[in-house]
Amino acid sequence: MPSENLIKNITSKDNSLSQKTTKNLIKTADIADFKLLCEKSDFIFPFLKEKIIKNFVKLIEENELKTVFEFSKVYSSDFEELIVSSWLKFANEDLTDEILELFETGTNEQKAYAAKYFCYINDICALDYLNKFAFSDFEPLKINCALALSKFNDKTAFNKAKEIILTSKDDFEILGAYSFIAAYGSDEAMKFIVENYKNNTFRESIIVLLFDFYDFDKITKNLSQDEITEIFSVLIQAYPENISLNTIIYYQIYDYIKLISTFKNQFANNILLITKTKFNEYNSSDIYSFDLDKDTKTELKNITEFLNKLNLSFENILDELKQNNLRISLALDTVKELKLSNTAEFIANLINNNELPLDLCAKGAMVLKELNKTSLINKENISKIQNENIKALIESLLI
């Protein structure tokens, strides 16, 4: 059974008590205690996690490395550094061989830690294993293989991932390949993702991966204004259903908003409007903000105030209805939000002339319904739509 008061004592402000508890954890090598620590990590402040890791690595002795190998059977992203830094502290040829052996005999969790170890130890003996497990179903193992292979500058699995994305018909297999490529972390990987993600069923998840592995400076240095606006629009529209609002600081949302506000084009203005609408709702409703930490609430307030001060123009909205599907969809959202009736005839013509994909045709029809302009839609054209669900939806709007 896990020790009583383990979490309380190991995070104690009393350094003597916290170090004594940590040393006892090392000596006993009690995997139940370590598992409890990992399970409770979400409730431990980040600076306290750092303290636990620092104490553990400081106090571990070479003859106690059996503890690290025992704990490596439990995977925790929060305490990954605890395992790997302990190995690195005593890194030598014999220990590296022992860690290599985990690729043969260890659990997926142990393989994941081993892969991370080889992000720092450039031993070519690991390459075959890293490529072998590069597409593991165990996500931490896949990610750490990608990180390590990038350090080795080995592109075998990277090129395989690109091939999967370009040729596979399995969306889940493709998403897994995107996960690997995002973690690989090169400028080439970023460009590839931005050029190919649009038509995937899981495009929101792919863009979240992009923001997970590339920070503001990296993205804004390598992508064009339209590319930045586009991936940001996908990220924003994933809030709050698919992404927690607690990530807005981590993803540097405020920095992107301030940058995009300088672009001064219709595409940028459209996403800023949609962002403004969303964030005003988040900021004013306890449903969204009740569980946010103090810093996130402050950031949310600052973002909302900044957006509300912007003077956005929509005089070129029709131009956006001629762009790619993502931009058309965003333009339709803008028309709906602002009730821009002067666009109704243009949208109806797009529908009547079959110039929109079916899903956007349906969305356009719904926007026209909001504007009380469905009479502009040619019913005869709608009757020819072969997708029965979309045809039924549009016809119901025309009643």
Where does residue 354 fall: left (phi above 0), alpha (psi -120 to 50 degrees), or beta otherwise? left
- The residue among 3 and 211 whose pLDDT is bigger is 211
Question: Mind listing the pLDDT tens digit for each residue in 170-199?
Answer: 999 999 999 999 999 999 999 999 999 988
178 token code pair: 């995107």
Residues sharing a CB contact under 8 Å with residue 367, sequence separation 6 or more, in sequence order: 332, 335, 336, 347
User: Which residues neighbour 330 within 8 Å (Cβ) at sequence distance 6 or greater?
Assistant: 233, 267, 270, 271, 274, 320
Asked if the model's pLDDT at residue 316 lies above 80, the reply is: yes
What per-residue confidence (pLDDT) applies to 379?
86
Report yes or no on whether pTM surpasses 0.85.
Answer: yes
The pLDDT of residue 2 is above 70 = no
For position 258, what pLDDT does the model report? 98
Classify residue 92 as exposed, middle or buried by CB count within 10 Å of its CB (0-12, 13-18, 19+).
Answer: exposed
Under 8 Å CB-to-CB from 308, ≥6 apart: which residues?
Answer: 276, 280
Query: For residue 125, what pLDDT band results from cuts at 50, 70 and 90?
Result: very high
Which segment of 49-63, 139-153, 383-397 scores lowest on mean pLDDT? 383-397
Spatial CB neighbours of 12, under 8 Å, sequence gap ≥ 6: 18, 21
Amino acid, res. 44: I
pLDDT, mean of residues 305-333: 95
- Looking at the predicted structure, is the pLDDT value of residue 369 above 90? yes
pLDDT: is 291 or 231 the higher one?
231
Query: Which of 376-383's residues contact partners 24+ apart within 8 Å by CB, and which partners?
Result: 376/344, 376/345, 376/348, 376/352, 377/348, 377/351, 377/352, 378/351, 378/352, 381/351, 381/352, 381/354, 382/351
Q: Which residues are CB-contacts of 244 (< 8 A; sequence separation ≥ 6)?
A: none
In the chain, domain spans: 155-202, 215-315, 339-399
Mean pLDDT along residues 104-125: 97
Q: What is the pLDDT of residues 258-276, one digit of tens each?
A: 999 999 899 999 999 999 9
Average pLDDT value over all residues in the chain: 94
Whether residue 2 has a cis bond before it, omega within 30° of 0: no
- Cβ(152)–Cβ(177) under 8 Å? no
- Convert 199-230 to b/e letters by CB count within 10 Å (16 or more is b): ebeebbbbbbbbbebbebeebbeebebebbbb
Per-residue pLDDT band at 380 (split at 50, 70, 90): confident
**pLDDT tens digit sequence for 233-258:** 999 999 998 899 999 999 999 999 99
The whole-number pLDDT of residue 3 equals: 65
Q: Is the pLDDT of residue 159 over 90?
A: yes
282-285 CB contacts, 8 Å cutoff, 24+ apart: 282/239, 282/240, 282/245
> Mind listing the pLDDT tens digit for each residue in 22-75?
999 999 999 999 999 999 998 899 999 999 999 999 999 999 999 999 999 999
| pLDDT for the residue numbered 359 | 87
